[in-house]
Amino acid sequence: MAHAPEHVEQYVCVNCQVTYAGSVTSEGGQRHFHPPDDCPVCGDPDFVQLESYVHRALEQST
């Protein structure tokens, strides 16, 4: 069976748009990714997954 590389979830700070790789935890053989508690650049705690960032940005601009 071929190994499929894992996709690391990325998070975008809603305030300053800096992107972070999620920190990983493991439970029952499954990995879970989490954003930082606060953005190290601006201190804001609000993050959105990279895949959802465009949709969130469009919602906020209307």
Residue 50's Cβ-count burial label (10 Å; 0-12, 13-18, 19+) is: middle
Task: Point out which residues pair with 24 in neighbouring strands.
Answer: 33
19 membership: H or E segment, kind and range: strand 19-21
Q: What is the CA radius of gyration of the chain?
A: 14
Give the pLDDT of residue 2: 60
pLDDT value for 62 = 64
Kindly report the pTM of this predicted structure: 0.78
Q: What is the pLDDT of residues 3-39, one digit of tens each?
A: 666 788 999 999 999 999 999 999 888 889 999 999 9
**What pLDDT does 52 receive?**
92
